[in-house]
Structure 1
Amino acid sequence: MKNDFQPDTPAIAVVIPSYRVTRHIVGVIAGIGPEVTRIYVVDDKCPDGSGAFVRANCADPRVVVLEHELNQGVGGAVMTGYRAAIADGMDVIVKVDGDGQMDARLIPDFVAPILNGEADYTKGNRFFDLEQIRQMPRVRLFGNAILSLMTKLSSGYWDLFDPTNGYTAIHADAARHLPFDKISKRYFFETDMLFRLNTINAAVVDVPMDASYGDEVSNLKISKIVTEFMVKHARNFGKRIFYNYYLRNMSLASLELPLGLALFLWGAVYGGLHWLVSARAGVATPAGTVMLSALPVLMGTQLVLAFVAHDIASVPRRAIHRVASRRRRHV
């Protein structure tokens, strides 16, 4: 319950997943400004005992330490923080890592679009400033570009970039609609969040921020998660297309995609088989056969591109939390 702050002032909470960040976490908490009402430190069964460390070394009265009995991953820790913030009546929930990479002075920048009704969810983007991008290792830069393309396809947010950026904020009324138990609990968490947000038509906005690389050690091993990420992206893409174009709504795009794929595949298979037959016989493929193959391929390509154009234009733009807030006020 809101009992220690003004009801007319938006209550902002910060959730800090805590796992092997004892060197940085007290400094991260100290950098969080007075605009924040409550800070939830979620000890995700940290082997360094970061929860106890915060209790012993941090006197900030806003801090609430939550502890997991079993390690759940960053997603599980954030969901625990979300649940606690919602139960305490917070309005906006910001997620900040405990390793010192994220500048706490940017919290107002992440919260402003939400409070202004422009977004339900904001996330950091380190790719706005071309000069700052030069600080990013080339391998990470390339990996982010590939992951961003995959995320655009699976989440439907075509205007976003830097999908693995964990600096985020969400309105509590939007968070209430999320299936916390279904969201990926480990490294796919940030990307899966975008997919889940699209299924509730939440508006998402990128917030420019600088890239920062200190002495933190990443637990993410790209070689171990590439296959897992590809499978999960494909799964989310299929679910999103089914939910948005066949289960909840039907439009011309609902016909364009299957018809376009069918024509493209039929033309490609038909042409390929006849080309093999002609090649083995040592004769040229008849012009009519070429046309019967090329036309379906061209038509199918056009239909798929039309579907993609429709999908890009369908990115959610209206903040759903404003509608939810009005409904709650009238109840």
Structure 2
Amino acid sequence: MNTLDKEFKVAVVIPCYKVKEHILSVIERIGPEVDAIYAVDDKCPQNSGDYITEHCHDPRVKVLFNAENQGVGGAVLHGYRIGLEDGMDIFVKVDGDGQMDPCLVKYFINPILNKDVDYTKGNRFHDIDTLKPMPKIRLFGNAVLSFMTKFSSGYYNLFDPTNGYTAISAVVLKKIPLEKISKRYFFESDILFRLNIAGAKICDIPMDAVYGDEESNLNIKKIMLPFLKGNVKNLFKRIFYNYFLRGFSIASLELILGTLLSLFGVIYGISSWSESISTGYPATSGTVMLSALPIILGVQFLLSFIQADIENQPAISLTRLLSNHR
């Protein structure tokens, strides 16, 4: 562990919903590097909060209750808020269903302790051999969601966006609007978008995919459309914030020119094709070029913009820049 460990208070937040059979085992495996454990009963029908209070005697555990079910994001945000009030410096989010090994906590917090990054996230796709137990529909769904989230969040080097095993610095947590973050299954992807807007540096932590007798509440088929809508919305917001509202660069011009040229070429091409069909006269070579050339140039401009966007990922840790030197 880092030599600065004792200067930082580490908290684990566990959203609890239908995890009664596994929650005590998860808490028992949380190591001494953690100072506080916030178990959030998200209006669990199994009364997991009361169960933890009755059967868990770990002095680090504080049981929190949501008056109504808010989803995984709502439960985690509740834990974040209470932890900030208690003066915690790093927050690790661990699910209560046993799919996340608490022994990995130290690997998630070390890059933040060293102030190299502001946020770490698990990646189950690092080792292909460990993916064999993962259901094929989840494997495909995660691949699609990862592709969408790369564009919407601006973190192109990350994968496995629905992975909820994360750690975040309190310094950057205070810089993002917690009240605006999605409280349901889009929580992990939405917080990546918020982190990019804040300029936070993040990284993936390799981990194995673990599947036992636990029942997942995540249905890939049901969440695919909401995830698509959310990612498209965040993509447009991120581009507007980063390339037009807060700054204007060559990449901004490339995006404008690429979009306008591509639209002109497509619209003019469709119009000319329709006219050619209705009149029976084939389009001239000049008409074809007037449609094709703007599309070719437009695509080149858009590709240049994407390349610039990839290179524009946050490179400096806000935790290093903004935290007080102790």
**Could you tell me the TM-score, scaled by structure 2's length?**
0.96
**Cα distance in 1 for residues equivalent to 2:322 and 2:259:** 38
Deviation at 1:7, TM superposition (A): 9.4
Paired residues for 1:36-47 under 5 Å: 36-47=34-45
Other-structure match for 1:93: 91
Other-structure match for 2:26: 28
Size of the alignment, in residue pairs? 323
Deviation at 1:8, TM superposition (A): 4.4
- Contact persistence 2:138–2:220 (CA under 8 A): no
Paired residues for 1:211-290 under 5 Å: 211-290=209-288
| Alignment equivalent of 1:292, drawn from 290, 293, 303 | 290
Other-structure match for 2:119: 121
Other-structure match for 1:3: none
Paired residues for 1:303-314 under 5 Å: 303-314=301-312
**Cα distance in 2 for residues equivalent to 1:45 and 1:140:** 26
Q: Percent identity?
A: 56
Other-structure match for 2:51: 53
Residue ranges of structure 1 left out of the alignment (5+ in a row): 1-5
1:162 aligns with 2:160: yes
Cα deviation digits, residues 19-64 of structure 1 (max 9, x gap): 1111000000000011111100011111111111001111111101
**Could you tell me the TM-score, scaled by structure 1's length?**
0.95
Paired residues for 1:98-177 under 5 Å: 98-177=96-175
1:72 aligns with 2:75: no
Other-structure match for 1:10: 8
SS at match of 1:181: helix
What letter is aligned with 1:260?
Answer: G
**Cα distance in 2 for residues equivalent to 1:105 and 1:249:** 42
What letter is aligned with 1:195?
Answer: F
Moved more, 93-102 or 70-79: 70-79
**Cα distance in 2 for residues equivalent to 1:194 and 1:156:** 8
| Alignment equivalent of 2:185, drawn from 184, 187, 200 | 187
Deviation at 1:323, TM superposition (A): 1.5
What letter is aligned with 2:36?
Answer: R
- Contact persistence 2:149–2:161 (CA under 8 A): yes
Cα deviation digits, residues 194-253 of structure 1 (max 9, x gap): 001011000010000001111111222233222221111111111101110111111111
